[in-house]
Amino acid sequence: MNEDLNVIRPILRVSNITKRYGDRVAVSDASFELYPGEVLAVVGESGSGKSTLLNCISARLRPDEGQVEYRTRHEGMTEVFAMSEAQRRLLARTDWGFVHQNAEEGLRMHVSAGANVGERLMALGERHYGDLRRNAIDWLSRVEVDTTRIDDLPSAFSGGMRQRLQIARNLVTKPRLIFMDEPTSGLDVSVQARLLDLLRTLTRGLSLAAIIVTHDLAVARLLAHRMIVMKGGRIVETGLTDQVLDDPQHPYTQLLVSSVLQP
Amino acid sequence: MTTASIHVRNLSKTFVLHNQGGAELSVLGNATVSVMPGECVVLDGASGSGKSTLLKCVYGTYRATAGEIVVATGERNVDMRAAQPQDILRLRRETIAYVSQFLRAIPRVPAIDIVAEPLLTGLQDDDDAVERARAQAQQLLLTLRIPPRLWHVPPATFSGGEQQRVNIARSFIRQQPVMLLDEPTASLDAENRTTVIAMIRKAREQGAAILGIFHDEATRNAVATRVINMAEFQ
């Protein structure tokens, strides 16, 4: 192929990640790259290591082997585990986001919805009450949470609303990369559709890169450009979403795809 | 419009079904076809002769077993079998459209936005761009006789023919240099089929390289500049 002047460089590079729990290997030798604005789905059954992999990449868990490099805004490709704890924490609450399966883990349940959205901005030094409130209202409406509920506690919210609030809380700092662990499971189908539509709009509109762990192939089909299939802690197949779902190569992927109704 | 061409040589595709004892299913063998800008090459042959498989290999959905697939744009030749996912995604954004008769409806997204979307990659926050894209989408929906009362409804509940026309509108809103058409006119009524035929001819006259499958003989004769019988490849 001819040289290409607008070569896109990866925003994240994961190299040979291995994570053990005692004798058990949860993730073995996982490597991949992620590009700006790209949505990558990590699929596999329970126990395949996909959540452990996500936790390692997002620096919530230290892998036993391997590297995670992230292209920071100012310093270029930087090994995440070589950063200071403070740098890593700053990264995690500004340039990255993490959406948990259970919204309760990602929200502060004893402070208002508005304060939940404002917290990351306050951590960046924003102190002006009017600006914080305006931002919170803007983001609540973008994730379709009734803005008159801004002073309510998340515990008074439904599951779907909590999940949308968690997303607003993460996106308020305009991160470039967001990690999501089964963001739609445990929600009613109609609520799921609304959330999927929202995620789709947000990732496309904001050119947000995302890694989504899901066991739901239909979610992967709808949201992801590319997929990784995991089994027993190993990546067994990768490819464009339609390649993996329509022409799966690995025996396990073939089994996975043929076992569900219309992925 | 920039132009591009398709070059397929000795292409084969065999599916290996690991969960059926490793059974091998050979669905396409030794296919060779080139399509230049301004051509509409129609693949002809019985059901199961590998026509759709060939299109899906060119689009990169199926990974070819052997042979060569090159999509040549003005600035570069992309070897589809060796290309990185990023290259294929870019080619799909800028060069190749794949049009089937099936619309993949997206929950909650109204017809007009499904049609406008290809114009808006990365521009969703630009209100003017969104307005312009919607205006173009409306034009196409009108041309394809989708009644205005349906424009703001998600197409999941539309009839098969209506969904198909929404899909065609979406595929034609951004004129791509390479078009892969997998029976886009199947099950359309005569009037709409005539409209779609006119759209295909116009795309071709503007320089698109089109590779397609049309079972209906009248449609095939109306759009094809060349017909290739799949039996020639065996």
Note whether residue A254 is domain-resident.
yes
**What total of structural domains would you count in chain A?**
2
- Please indicate, yes or no, whether residues A16 and A114 belong to a single structural domain of this protein: no
Q: Which of A145, A174, A203 is the last residue of a domain?
A: A174
Same domain for A55 and A16? yes
Minimum-distance CB partner of A254 among B18, B63, B88: B18
Q: Which chain B residue has its CA at the smallest distance from A245's CA? A: B61
Closest residue on chain A to B23 (Cα): A251
- Residues 46-105 on A with a CB inside 8 Å of B are none
Task: Tell me, yes or no, whether A80 lies in a domain.
Answer: yes
Residues A228 and A241 in one domain: yes
Tally Cβ neighbours within 10 Å of residue B228. 20
Cβ contact A35:A10 at 8 Å: yes
**How far, in Å, CA of A70 to CA of A225, rounded?**
20
Query: Any CB–CB contact under 8 A between A164 and chain B?
Result: no
Considering the domain architecture, whether residues A246 and A209 belong to the same structural domain is answered as: yes
Would you kindly state where each structural domain of chain B is located, as residue ranges?
Answer: 36-60+96-233
| CA-atom Rg of chain B in angstroms | 18
What's the pTM value of the predicted model, to 2 decimals?
0.92
Domain of A155 in residue numbering reads as 106-174
Shared-domain flag, residues A112 and A229: no
Do residues A90 and A201 share a domain?
A: yes
Q: Which residue in A196, A240, A258 is closest to B60 by CB distance?
A: A240
Q: Is residue A79 part of a domain?
A: yes
Q: What are the pLDDT tens digits along chain B (234 aa)?
A: 689 999 999 999 999 999 899 999 999 999 999 999 999 999 999 988 999 999 999 999 999 999 999 999 988 899 999 999 999 999 998 999 999 878 887 778 899 999 999 898 766 667 898 999 999 999 999 999 999 999 999 998 899 899 999 999 999 999 999 999 999 998 899 999 999 999 999 999 999 999 999 989 999 999 999 999 999 886
ipTM score of the complex? 0.92
**Domain assignment of residue A1, yes or no:** no
The full 3-state SS of chain B, as one line of letters, equals: CCCEEEEEEEEEEEEEEHHHCCEEEEEEEEEEEEECCCCEEEEECCCCCCHHHHHHHHHCCCCCCEEEEEEEECCCEEECCCCCHHHHHHHHHHCEEEEECCCCCCCCCCHHHHHHHHHCCCCCCCHHHHHHHHHHHHHHHHHCCCCHHHCCCCHHHCCHHHHHHHHHHHHHCCCCCEEEEECCCCCCCHHHHHHHHHHHHHHHHCCCEEEEECCCHHHHHHHCCEEEEHHHHC
* Residue A111: inside a domain: yes
Same domain, yes or no: A15 and A128: no
Considering A153, A174, A195, which residue would you say is the last residue of a domain? Answer: A174
Residue A170 sits in the same domain as residue A202: no
Residue A176 at interface with chain B, using a CB cutoff of 8 Å? no
**Last residue within a domain, chosen from A174, A209, A234:** A174
Q: Does residue A100 sit within a domain?
A: no
**Dihedrals φ, ψ of A138, to 5°?**
-55, -50
Asked: is B36-60+96-233 a CATH 3.40.50.300 domain? The reply is: yes
The answer to whether residues A184 and A83 belong to one domain is: yes
